[in-house]
Amino acid sequence: MSQEDIRRLLIELGKEASLQELSEAATHEFPNRTLHSYLHERLDSMQQKGLVQTKECEGITKWILTAKGETTTLETNICELGTRVSENSLSKHGVQISNLVGSLDLQRALDLSALSEDLDNMEYHPESYPSAIFYPSEESSSTIMIHTSGRISISGARDEQQIIDAANNLLCSLRNLGIEINANTDEIHINNIVANFDFEREFDLEQISLALGLERTEYEPEQFPGLIFQSSMNSTISLFNSGKCVITGAKSYEEVLAVIKEIYNELNMIGVDLPNEYDLD
């Protein structure tokens, strides 16, 4: 189970629960996963980040979600990305993923100067940028930023397999050079999902920005042609006159759909006419 799974379970349980209550809820929610024994370890880590706190209630320790934990969306592990909402489900709703950004800690420092001499498909110009850029293959749309700390960032993938393949290409290249790497692609975390959606109708963005209010929207057409809407889940939606929108900052497929549903409901509330067939449940 990920920390984000636990955070969501706590919200469903009224923002506080005992370890046993969490374990029972996790078993019910994820019957095919066997990581419930790591609950306490995950909770301890969340407590260090200020996301949860504990209190004793009649001899039982209760884990309580803090205000920070309630509003902070945590990274999603690559293995959990399609657990609740699959890629096929996104396509059914008319959502297209244009970029998956993930990260992986190789758990060791790297000599980027030496690597750039050994790897033809790597660029390293420390005088202008401190990280190296690795190109997995000519067929791949992904690129990998490599830091001296051993942390890598993969971008440009369109689905889970592409991001895994790109990371595997780098790991194999490093191991072929005799560099010991203990990390594996199961440990990739999703940092950002960029998705596209089309409402299939034109919008008057100036009117929408006035109706939604300045607290959550930004519309300066002389600088950017779209209206920027800040969702309650810390994701951002760029809405254009054509009806197309771009979602950035989501960390799971479920969040992508939730963000689209949120802007859909907001538009409905201010009287924007939208087709009834948009069922995002």
Long-range pairs for 50-53: beta carbons < 8 A, 24 or more residues apart = 51/3, 51/7, 52/10
Residue 82 lies in a domain: no
Residue 93 lies in a domain: no
Asked if 161 and 234 sit in the same domain, the reply is no
Asked if 22 and 62 sit in the same domain, the reply is yes
Task: Select from 134, 164, 192 the last residue of a domain.
Answer: 192
Q: What is the spatial distance between Cα 100 and Cα 75, in angstroms, rounded to a whole number?
A: 13
**Which residue carries 């657990």 as its tokens?**
83
Asked if 68 and 104 sit in the same domain, the reply is no
Asked if 49 and 104 sit in the same domain, the reply is no
Residue 40 is inside which H or E element, if any? Answer: helix 39-48
Residue 79 lies in a domain: no
Asked if 43 and 63 sit in the same domain, the reply is yes
Asked if 203 and 188 sit in the same domain, the reply is no
Asked if 177 and 210 sit in the same domain, the reply is no
Q: What is the spatial distance between Cα 84 and Cα 75, in angstroms, rounded to a whole number?
A: 15
Q: What is the pLDDT of residue 34?
A: 47
Burial of residue 20, with CB atoms counted within 10 A of its CB: 0-12 exposed, 13-18 middle, 19 or more buried: exposed
Name residues whose C-beta falls within 8 Å of residue 13's C-beta, 6 or more positions apart in sequence: 21, 22, 25
Asked if 136 and 182 sit in the same domain, the reply is yes
**Which residue carries 């205000």 as its tokens?**
67
Q: What is the spatial distance between Cα 272 and Cα 208, in angstroms, rounded to a whole number?
A: 8
Radius of gyration of the chain (CA): 22
Residue 88 lies in a domain: no
Q: What is the pLDDT of residue 28?
A: 81
Torsion angle, alpha carbons of 157, 158, 162, 164, to 10: 70
Give the CA distances from residue 96 to residues 35, 43, 159, in Å, rounded to whole numbers and listed in that order: 31, 34, 10
Closest CA to 153 of 189, 124, 194, 177: 189
Strands across the sheet containing 52-57: 16-18, 60-65, 52-57
Segments forming the whole domain that contains residue 229: 199-269
Residue 89 lies in a domain: no
Asked if 117 and 165 sit in the same domain, the reply is yes
Task: Select from 74, 89, 106 the last residue of a domain.
Answer: 74
Q: What is the pLDDT of residue 169?
A: 96
Q: What is the spatial distance between Cα 126 and Cα 135, in angstroms, rounded to a whole number?
A: 17
159, 96 in Cβ contact below 8 A?
no
Asked if 186 and 205 sit in the same domain, the reply is no
- Partnered with residue 250 across adjacent β-strands are 193
In the chain, how many domains are there?
A: 3
Task: Select from 192, 213, 239 the last residue of a domain.
Answer: 192
Residue 47 lies in a domain: yes
Residue 190 is inside which H or E element, if any? Answer: strand 189-198
Residue 277 lies in a domain: no
What is the model's pTM?
Answer: 0.76
- Whichever domain contains 171, its CATH number is 3.30.310.10
| List of the chain residues with pLDDT < 50 | 32-35
